[in-house]
Amino acid sequence: MPPLAGYTPHWASSGPPAARGYAGVAMYVRDGLRVDGDVRVSAGIGWPPGDAEGRSLTAHLPGGRPAVVTAYVPNAGVGLKRLAFRRAWDAAFCDHVAAVRTAAGGAGVVVVGDLNVAPDVRLDVWGGPAKGRVAGLTEEERAGFAALLTLGGGGGRGGGGRRRQRGAATHRRVPRAAADRDGVYALELPRRVPPGGGGEGAQRGGWRLDYGLIDAGVWGRGGGTPTGCTRCRGRTTCRSL
């Protein structure tokens, strides 16, 4: 990981039995950050097959601050060969977030990262719905995302009863017209601009796969407007929050 002055890096990476270096996540914590106690960072979600791939870190913040969970959610793969693994991950991750939320004692949870799903083809896919069953667009993956929005409120492996939505995707806090105008997407797909299509601006499109999910109570405490990165045009991926 590259050094960042004034911050301590924390990271998790895949290793045996998974392919070494295949996946990983990182988190930088500001040096000297104390909120009525030390910040504790833990790796994994308590599901060994997923933890071997180094896909999640959790920062536990004392002093009534929300916990922060970052994730690189498994892709279902070409031909959906890993869809079963993805579904198992989604269930385990939902349970993990629920447990973190409980441990936070009402302080709430913030989930950020590459969630590898476009939840709504009307809003999150450039140029209209994709055809067929494609990784990131399946009903199963969207169901996993919907369960995560409850932050474990019945959407995990052992959950039951009526689910209640507790989370809010930051991008949904941006008016759709503004989001479409700014071209805020996580995965930019190269597209040929048709004649008269408006030049460079017409190429701003793709899928929204990266999200920040904020507990509704945390959002209500104030602060900030989600924005998209405009410095990454032309790159394959671009994180936005």
**Inside any domain, residue 237:** no
Catalytic residue at 72?
Answer: yes
Q: Identify which has the larger pLDDT, 151 or 134.
A: 134
Q: Are 137 and 118 in contact (CB under 8 A)?
A: yes
**Inside any domain, residue 15:** yes
**Inside any domain, residue 233:** no
**Inside any domain, residue 231:** no
**Inside any domain, residue 236:** no
**Inside any domain, residue 38:** yes
- Strand 56-60 and strand 40-43: the pairing is antiparallel
Determine whether the annotation assigns residue 114 to a binding site: yes
Query: Active-site residue among 114, 124, 210, 215?
Result: 114
Determine whether the annotation assigns residue 36 to a binding site: no
CB atoms within 10 A of CB 61: 22
Catalytic residue at 114?
Answer: yes
* Domain count across the chain: 1
Q: Which of 6-15, 30-39, 219-228 has the lowest mean pLDDT?
A: 219-228
User: What interhelical angle do 139-149 and 83-103 show, nearest 10?
Assistant: 0
Task: Report residue 98's pLDDT band, with 50, 70 and 90 as the boundaries.
Answer: very high
| Residues of the domain holding 122 | 7-174+209-219
**Inside any domain, residue 43:** yes
Task: Report residue 47's pLDDT band, with 50, 70 and 90 as the boundaries.
Answer: very high
Query: Active-site residue among 72, 90, 124, 211?
Result: 72
**Span 8-29, mean pLDDT?**
90
Output the CA–CA distances (angstroms, integers) from residue 8 to 5, 25, 52, 201, in the order listed: 8, 14, 23, 38
- Alpha-carbon distance of 239 to 113, in angstroms, equals 8
Residue 97, pLDDT > 70, answer yes
CA end-to-end span of the chain: 22
**Inside any domain, residue 162:** yes
Domain CATH number, residue 49: 3.60.10.10
